[in-house]
Amino acid sequence: MSLHVAVIGAGIVGAATALELLRDGHRVTIIEPGEPGGEQAASFGNGAWLSPASVVPMSMPGMWKKVPGYLADPLGPLTIRITALPRLLPWLTRFLLAGSTVPRVEATARALSPLLNDAPVRHARLAVEAGVPELIRQNGLLYAYPDRQAFEAEALAWRLRSDNGVQWRELSGEELQTREPTLDPRYRFGVLVEAGAHCVDPGAYVAALVRHAVAQGATLARARATGFDITDGKLHAVLTATGRIACDRAVIAAGVWSKRLALAAGDRVSLTSERGYHVVVADPEAAPHTPVMPSDGKMGNTVTSKGLRASGQVELAAIDAPPNWKRAQVLLDHLRRTYPALPKDILPTRLSRWMGHRPSTPDGLPVIGPASACHHIVHAFGHGHVGLAAGPATAAVVADVIAGRSPSIPLRPYSAARFRMW
């Protein structure tokens, strides 16, 4: 049955969903107030990794011990602005609970795996379909450690990856330096996930997918969705700041802005912004051949079409709080230590920086599936650090739900109803 589906959001999840729905023969309207792939979007500024290994949740056993340090260090890898703490306490409590035991994080990793295990293949297909195959590159993803002991200190994380089918190859110090000669020699042990891939320009990639959807018949409506017209459990329209858009079904894929739309659809979800930063060095004097994540920085170092990008950091603060650009400086300083050939003084004209909002749930799992107040509305948001990688698999699940097919992935772990128990 052909339906008119309104997809709210033109990030990677919304763009991929629109294409899946078009393949099913539906009429599609994408509702997005900003420029698809623009700097306002989380898709624009992420780490560009497409990694089956990203099944490890941010909240892990023992993290509660680190919270005082996070509060005390405004430039640490994870920081919480004191002014936002009262509002964030419910989310933080759930976050620490979600990672409090090994069985809990094992369950999270199992739920993330089917969204990520074939992400490189799915993205390669999408890029070819959209006419931009050069934007997706598969030459592995590399984790760099000072020694094997540092790697073994993360044994639980790597066991979670292994349990979910992730394979890797260990590199000695000599092999690591041969493969990445510009890497600082303090890194003497490497782990190469050969199945990993990356996107050389996430913003351009998402924009290309949206253009392709429009070329295939989708309509792009430049508007901000504000709610829904629902009567007796039936959806009649998406309400926007500029008027109604009549439709049969709707998909909420609006990133961090999805929380209020989910509430309008009957679900109170625990969602906050994990503010992430990146810095890009144009025409770098040194850069890795393979995207690298140094263990002492936990930031992705990736060569993009604009230059060497370092991305990472987690800052929990109000959405409208001003950026703390010292956090971008932390990334740049770490790049200099990681690649000694980078000069100490880089001209400002060669540098760009960015801050954006990862839509994150406390348990590290997205919200996917029918809304409580109206099953004609489908949730597809809250992917946190894995939104780019998990976008295509999420889109396939949403298309199955709207078509009345049984999704290949069980929906229970992603249900909005899980927040009622917290």
Q: Do 30 and 20 form a contact (C-beta atoms < 8 A)?
A: no
Q: Report the C-alpha gap between 381 and 306 in whole angstroms.
A: 28
| Cβ contacts of 64 within 8 Å, gap of 6 or more | 96, 100
- What confidence score (pLDDT) does residue 333 get? 94
Nearest to 95 by CA among 357, 378, 384: 384
Torsion of CA 308, 313, 317, 320, to 10 degrees: 10
Residue 192, beta-bridge partner list: 142, 169
* pLDDT number for residue 71: 66
- Contact at 8 Å (CB) between 279 and 302? no
Say how far apart CA 276 and CA 192 lie, in whole Å: 25
Q: For residue 186, give the amino acid letter.
A: R
Domain ranges of the chain: 4-61+107-421
Give the 3-state secondary structure of the chain. CCCEEEEECCCHHHHHHHHHHHHCCCEEEEECCCCCCCCCCHHHHCCCEECCCCCCCCCCCCHHHHHHHHHHCCCCCEEECHHHHHHHHHHHHHHHHHCCCHHHHHHHHHHHHHHHCCHHHHHHHHHHHCCCHHHEECCCEEEEECCHHHHHCCHHHHHHHHHCCCCCEEECHHHHHHHCCCCCCCCCEEEEECCCEEECCHHHHHHHHHHHHHHCCCEEECCCEEEEEEECCEEEEEEECCEEEECCEEEECCHHHHHHHHHHCCCCCCCEEEEEEEEEECCCCCCCCCCEEECCCCCEEEEECCEEEEEEEEEECCCCCCCCCHHHHHHHHHHHHHCCCCCCCCCHHHEEEEEEEEEECCCCCCEEEECCCCCCEEEEECEHHHHHHHHHHHHHHHHHHHHCCCCCCCCHHHCHHHHHHC
CA pseudo-torsion sign 333, 339, 343, 347? negative
CA distance 326 to 251: 37
Q: Which two tokens stand for residue 411?
A: 């929906």
**Tokens 């809250």 — which residue?**
382
Q: Write out the two tokens for 81.
A: 């602005």
Q: Which CATH superfamily is domain 4-61+107-421 in?
A: FAD/NAD(P)-binding domain (3.50.50.60)
The pLDDT of residue 65 is 79
pLDDT score of 67:
72
Written as tens digits, the pLDDT of the chain (422 aa) is 799 999 999 999 999 999 999 999 999 999 999 999 999 999 899 999 999 999 999 999 988 777 777 766 767 778 888 888 899 999 999 999 999 999 999 999 999 999 999 999 999 999 999 999 999 999 999 999 999 999 999 999 999 999 999 999 999 999 999 999 999 999 999 999 999 999 999 999 999 999 999 999 999 999 999 999 999 999 999 999 999 999 999 999 999 999 999 999 999 999 999 999 999 999 999 999 999 999 998 899 999 999 999 998 889 888 889 999 999 999 999 999 999 999 999 999 999 999 999 999 999 999 999 999 999 999 999 999 999 999 999 999 999 999 999 998 999 999 999 998 76
Would you say 303 and 275 are in contact if contact means Cβ atoms under 8 Å apart? no
Nearest alpha-carbon partner for 221 in 190, 188, 247: 247
**What pLDDT is recorded for position 422?**
62
What pTM, to 2 d.p., does this model score? 0.96
Edge-to-edge strand order for the sheet containing 49-50?
49-50, 197-199, 136-137
